[in-house]
Amino acid sequence: MTLNAQPAASLFIGGRPVEGEGGALPVLYPYTGEEIASLREASAGQVAEACRVAARAQPAWAALAPAERGRVLSRAAAIIRERNEELSRLETLDTGKPIQETLVADWESGAQALEFFGGLAASITGQMIPLGRDWAYTRREPLGVCAGIGAWNYPSQIACWKAAPALVMGNAMVFKPSEETPLGALKLAEILLEAGLPAGIFNVVQGRAEVGAALATDPNVDKVSLTGSVPTGRKVYAAAAEGMRHVTMELGGKSPLIVFDDANPEHAVSAAMLANFYSSGQICSNGTRVFLQEGIRDAFLDRLAERVRNVRMGDPLDPATTHGPIINPAQAGKIRAAIASGLEQGARLLCGGPGEGAFIPPTVFTDASDEMTITRDEIFGPVMTTLGFHDEEEVITRANATGFGLAAGVFTQDLTRAHRVIAQLQAGTCWINSYNLTPVEMPFGAVKQSGLGRENSAAAIEHYSQLKSVYVGMGGVDAPY
């Protein structure tokens, strides 16, 4: 078995692979630390060139009938599904996530986005506004060149979630994947080209923060869509504002998952585990503050401790593995520091701990308080903080006592309570008796510091287009002079 994942070249500009002229960008397999590809960053000139190429190609793409653009996306979805196995393996090498996950959750989710927006293409219309003799209409027009900047946890899904609505609206895109996981976006560029996308409409540049910053401020860029942390979001939003660029910000979270006494305990435990340990906990919308009502608390924790023993930590390419390594040693170090701070501040470990090397086992804290760092800060690792509560009003106040506002979940059999509580939670994406499911049909996004704009569903179209209003005079023009 070879772990060589070297692409044809590091960048993809104007419909062809192009070697980067910037600094070295080694790609390491998180499981072993072995170098699986050796890339180069884009130089400043190459970032500008990619944006120029995109700007030149965009008008002809926008002039096509929407259904024609949609067909390209649908074809790309079909190609992804045909090659899912090979693409998922590459995703596992890039991210270290278990193959069991990447086979069902990564490229497949990307294919669903391409399929959904491809199908939506022909039904995106404007409005006709009757005004008596005269009338007006609106046209939904592309923005131009959209920059996409991705995080490392779902690299190919993020690339597809941004590309699909952008391209279907007739925009061009220059995408910069995370420097940790640069490989999937290059595959997407090849697949889109094979599906019939004109050269220059989807381009990939590689690099670290500096390359991202150059992209976000390039004069040819009209919109920036970022998936990343809140601190990066602040910088990119501010940089984009200077050029009055549109933005979508999908940022971090510290989301509450509230389990009431009457919840189905088995399902609540399943959801809490998925909401904290899937992808080794490296998911933005994770429900990392698990609020347990006093009556269910002990039973929930007992069952959780039992079921954590079923987690299979190990080789990501082994189909039986359910828990993979952390993306890199630096991130593992941050997670370990968070675990240490929890212990120092008086929380107790139900299970897990710092682990060894690239692996951090599923970790659950009890006896935590709202003030502890583990309860307040995003950890972005497999660390669940459980907190007790007594009544509904109290838990809503505590759940909302955070600057983040990405997601929230409620487990209860009481229908009226479920909807009453959800209505009061400050979060963009919520689940009742479920968690972390993000079907493309449902808008996904945040409130408060966790971001703005929406991905997925028809709502995403609004963030990749602008409205032109046209007043149509049907008679003469009356003037007082």
Ligand X SMILES: NC(=O)C1=CN([C@@H]2O[C@H](COP(=O)(O)OP(=O)(O)OC[C@H]3O[C@@H](n4cnc5c(N)ncnc54)[C@H](O)[C@@H]3O)[C@@H](O)[C@H]2O)C=CC1
Active site amino acids:
250
Query: Of 293 and 363, which has the nearer Cβ to ligand X?
Result: 363
Write the single-letter amino acid at 461.
I
Among 223, 228, 214, 96, smallest CA distance to 170 is for 223
Beta carbon nearer to ligand X, 300 or 444: 444
Beta bridge partner(s), residue 411: 259
3-state secondary structure (DSSP) of residue 354: coil
Gap between the Cα atoms of 466 and 172, Å rounded: 14
Contact 424, 219 (CB under 8 A): no
Is 22 or 451 the residue whose CB approaches ligand X more closely? 451
Output 229 or 270, the one with its CB closest to ligand X: 229
CB of 290 to ligand X, least distance (A): 17
Least spacing, CB of residue 64 vs ligand X, in Å: 30
Nearer CB in complex with ligand X: 96/150: 150
Long-range CB contacts for residues 125-133, cutoff 8 Å, separation at least 24: 126/467, 131/471, 133/474, 133/475
Q: Hey, CA dihedral for 256, 262, 268, 272, is it positive or negative?
A: positive
CB of 6 to ligand X, least distance (A): 21
Identity of the amino acid at 193: L
386 contacts 364 by C-beta, under 8 angstroms: yes
Nearest distance in Å: CB 51, ligand X: 14
The CA distance from 135 to 470, in Å, is 9
CA–CA separation, 107 vs 59, rounded Å? 29
Q: Give the pair of three-digit tokens for residue 4.
A: 């060589």
Contact of 303 with 266, CB cutoff 8 Å: yes
Structure-token match 């990447």, residue found: 102
Interface ranges with ligand X (CB under 6 A): 149-153, 176, 178-179, 208-209, 212-213, 216, 227-229, 232, 235-236, 250-253, 284, 378, 380, 406, 451
Least distance CB 179 / ligand X (angstroms): 5
Provide the 8-state DSSP code for 450. Answer: G
Smallest distance from the beta carbon of 180 to ligand X, in angstroms? 7
Closer by beta carbon to ligand X, 71 or else 454? 454
Residue at shortest CB range from ligand X: 212
Neighbour tally for 1: CB within 10 Å: 4
Closest CA to 51 of 142, 147, 143: 147
Number of H helices, E strands in the chain: 16, 22
- 256-259 and 289-293 beta bridge pairing: parallel
Query: Measured from the CB atom, is 128 or 209 closer to ligand X?
Result: 209
Burial 140-169 (b: 16+ CB within 10 A, else e): bebbbbbbbbbbbbbbbbbbbbbbbbbbbb
Minimum Å distance from CB 54 to ligand X? Answer: 17
